[in-house]
Amino acid sequence: MLADLVMEVMEDRATDRVGEELTVLLEARDEEDGSWVGRAAHQGPEVDGVTTLDPAAVGDAHYAVGDFVRARVTDAEGIDLVARPLEEVR
C-alpha cells in the first residue's frame, strides 16, 4: 500500500515536469527505434526513471554515450520522461 502511494507521487512529479527544460546525460541508444535514453540531474540510477529522447525529434543528430543534451519534456510515461532535444551540450 505504501509502495503504491510512493509510485503515485513519483508519477505525479514526472507529469509535473512536462514542459520543463533539462539537461540529459545520454547512456544508451535503442537501435530498434533510434531513441536515446539517459538521465537528468534529478533521476537516480534504477530508482527515478529515465528520460527518452523522442526518436522522431532526434533525426540525424550524431550523439554518443556520455553526451549532454538540452531537451524539453513533452510527456511522462509512468515515472519516465519523454523529451525533444533542443541542442547538444556535450
At residue 35, the pLDDT reads 87
* The model's pTM: 0.80
pLDDT tens for residues 34-68? 889 999 988 877 767 899 998 877 777 789 999 99
Burial zone of 66 (CB within 10 Å; 0-12 exposed, 13-18 middle, 19+ buried): exposed
More confident residue, 53 or 17: 53
Q: How many domains does the chain have?
A: 1
Cell digits for 77? 510515461
pLDDT greater than 70 at residue 12? no
Q: What is the CATH number of the domain that holds 41?
A: 2.40.50.140
Show the domain range for 50: 2-88
- Name the H helices within the chain: 2-16, 55-58
Calculate what percentage of the chain has a pLDDT beyond 90.
43
More confident residue, 55 or 12: 55
